[in-house]
Structure 1
Amino acid sequence: MPDHHDRLDPAQGETAADLSSGDGKTSANGKAQPAPSVPHPRHDGSAPGPLVLIGGATDPQGDALGCFLHLAGARQGGKIVGITTASANPLHSAQEWTEVFAQAGADNVEIPVIDRRDRAQDRAIAALLRSADGILLGGGDQVQLVSTLGGSRVGRALREAHAAGVVVCGTSAGAAALTETILAGGEPDEYGQMHEMYIGPGFGMLGFRAVIDTHFAQRRRLQRLFMVVAQNPELMGLGIDEDTALVVQGHLGKVVGRGSVTFVDGRGVRFDNAEECMRGEAPLTLSYLRVGIIGARYSFNLQERELENLVRARAHEEETPVVRGERAEEFAARSVAGG
């Protein structure tokens, strides 16, 4: 979604649905009404909900967003709750997302505007998240998103909803924030050197030691992902193209949409000069980094860091039959013995 820099100051708890239609579920003082604190019938709480990780530039009619809407039942009346905190203008972004969802066929949408840390403590907004069928985290600045929501009532409600089975979709910064470790800054210059890269904690809803980069092919971010994995070789980098989703359920992630997902596994790295590169002393040098590309319809085993079809093939491998030759005297002896 486009990002804007002219910050507005809406009433606490105001939603984009209220702004566009005037019939949002708010009280007279502008706060969202608490939803009933009972488990949603669509979520039995037996497993965490799916994660739909989109690389940004989402097409309202595209397969990436469509997958999220399908999992949330949004075109059949399922409730979508949006969070636009990462944006430089959360109110304007909320209005835009409401329009995007309408174009995509989803109209049961509420987006409380959380543009300050104190609003992330709003009990009514936390209850709203727990009542959702699907939660969307929009784009912007992942560090701003995590620092505003982390440890707050809304941040805890987000985690609890996902743990109870609610599907959570993040696009651009919203996707990047869902891992245990987040990446920001550090765009390479014309000589391939990077400066001021930020690596810090995220929401931790996607494990597997993953770190996500978005707008991946479009902004040529392969070297940035190489750098973060070189600095932290245990990490697995996932670079997601625009209008493309990695849909994670359990330990499997399926690629949906127009582009691809690139994975970078640093566990086999034998040499790197990441620290020199970060100090601006030399371009990045890196050896034995494992890299792959996953196209639409293919599934990736996040636990094994490998295409799922290869993992399954290994599990069902049978010993290849081998026909071995005999020495002439052995053959002659066997022939005589056999009559």
Structure 2
Amino acid sequence: MKRNKGTLIPIGGNEDKGVVEDDFNKLDYIEEGILSHVVREAGGVEAKIVVIPTASRIPKEVGNNYIDAFETLGCKHVTVLNIRSKQDSENPEFITAVKAANCVMFSGGDQSKITDRIGGSSIHNILINRYKNEKGFVIAGTSAGAMAMAQEMIAGGSATESFVKGAVNMYKGLSLIPELIIDTHFIQRGRFGRVSEAVAKFPDKIGIGLAEDTGLIIKHGIVEVIGSGMVIIFDPRKLKHNNERILKVGTPMSLTNLKVHVLANGDRFNIKKKKVKVLPVESPFI
């Protein structure tokens, strides 16, 4: 299978934007913060960065926050595209901006809005084509923007009804990374159960749970953890018992032999080989 040449950076939400007063458990914003990784992967401070706050209820405020955050890092070319309809995804001015961008960044909010307003459009097709064929092209997304990267996308669901069939709602995403199912705010909102159900529904996928201020750099099939929190990987390939298909909605589920990895900054995961490489115990990150 031909490898994609571009880079994906899904983020678990609430990433440091350089304005947090309490920096406990935060990485240095300029050197190690998630958005600094985004800038470096896109080519540095001269990169053209396009922010798409389609998922947000307050797109203007969110767009301005990202402009400020990227300008703090020294970026000089940051544009916000306020795509609010499928028609906007065919806007020639917006299309030109996406074609010229080194990085496209999707904000948080409601991931279904991203797929409803951008999925199947000219902008969606450009993103897929550039990600497949252009080395150095970056697509980043936080929270909803990260979840929308998947083919089988978590659209919502109750964390309090974990491990009950129907607790997770699935929807079609942008299919940038079909091998993964991504959930965000994972630790803070207790979403272990809904990723478990998601991989029970689609046992050929790898589940990813991203904590806040935590992300992944995905290049050439290799996933590297960045940020201050944890990433939980759900590998269902050797499930021995999975009763998801036969249960009625609302019934407690059972899964056996679901492999789970807990990774942190600098750890890696090979998507194809499904192998983990963690930093040695004496690493300064630990």
- Verify the 8 A CA contact 2:158 2:194 in the aligned structure 1: yes
Letter in 2 for 1:119: D
Instruction: Tell me, yes or no, if structure 1 residue 86 matches structure 2 residue 55.
Output: yes
SS at match of 1:185: strand
How many angstroms apart in 1 are the aligned matches of 2:113 and 2:248? Answer: 23
CA distance in 2, matches of 1:155, 1:192: 33
* Percent identity (aligned): 29
Distance 1:300 1:151 in 2: 30
Residues 112-127 of structure 1 mapped to structure 2, 5 A cutoff: 112-127=81-96
For residue 224 of structure 1, report the CA deviation from its aligned partner: 0.8
Counterpart selection for 1:205 from 173, 176, 181: 176
The 8 Å contact of residues 214 and 229 in structure 2, kept in 1 or not, is answered as yes
1:182 corresponds to 2:153 = yes
TM-score, with length taken from structure 1: 0.72
Partner residue of 2:189? Answer: 219
Alignment of 1:143-154 (within 5 A): 143-154=112-123
**CA shift at 1:47, angstroms?**
5.3
Q: Distance in 2 between matches of 1:167 and 1:190?
A: 36
- What amino acid is the match of 2:138? V
Output the amino acid matched with 1:296.
N
Number of aligned residue pairs: give it. 262
SS at match of 1:217: coil
Shift of 1:142: 1.2
Is 1:274 aligned with 2:274?
no
| Contact 1:193/1:278, CA 8 A, preserved across alignment | no
What secondary structure, in the 3-state scheme, does the structure 1 residue paired with 2:139 have? strand
TM-score normalised according to structure 2 size: 0.85
194 and 65 in structure 1: CA distance in 2 versus 1, 3 angstrom threshold: farther
- Choose from 132, 142, 152 the match for 2:101: 132
For the pair 1:167 / 2:142, whether they are aligned, the reply is no
3-state DSSP of counterpart to 1:101: helix
Unaligned runs of 5+ in 1: 1-45, 311-339
Amino acid of the residue matched to residue 240 of structure 2? Answer: R
1:277-292 correspondence runs (5 A): 279-281=249-251, 283-292=252-261
Deviation at 1:266, TM superposition (A): 1.2
Contact 1:251–1:301 at 8 Å: present in 2 too?
A: yes
Amino acid at match of 1:198: N
Task: Tell me if 1:63 matches 2:33.
Answer: yes
Q: Which residue of 1 aligns with 2:283?
A: none
Name the Cα RMSD after superposition.
Answer: 2.1
Task: Give the partner amino acid of 1:199.
Answer: M
Q: Which moved more, 1:189-198 or 1:114-123?
A: 189-198
Q: Match of 2:87, SS?
A: helix
- CA–CA separation in structure 2 for the residues paired with 1:184 and 1:243: 21
Give how far 1:144 is off.
Answer: 1.2
Unaligned runs of 5+ in 2: 18-28, 280-286
Which structure has more strand as a fraction of its residues? Answer: 2
Q: Which has the higher helix share?
A: 1
Aligned-partner SS, 2:157: coil
Alignment of 1:88-103 (within 5 A): 88-103=57-72
CA contact (8 A) 2:162 2:192 kept: no
Match of 1:229 in 2: 199
3-state SS, counterpart of residue 108 of structure 2: coil
Of 39, 51, 54, 2:11 maps to 54
- Work out which of the residue numbers 243, 261, 270 in structure 1 matches 2:231: 261
Report the equivalent of 1:24. Answer: none
Corresponding residue for residue 215 of structure 2? 245
Deviations 1:68-95 (A, max 9, x none): 01111342x2110111111123233212
Cα distance in 2 for partners of 1:57, 1:278 equals 35
AA of the residue aligned to 2:235: D
CA distance in 2, matches of 1:139, 1:276: 34
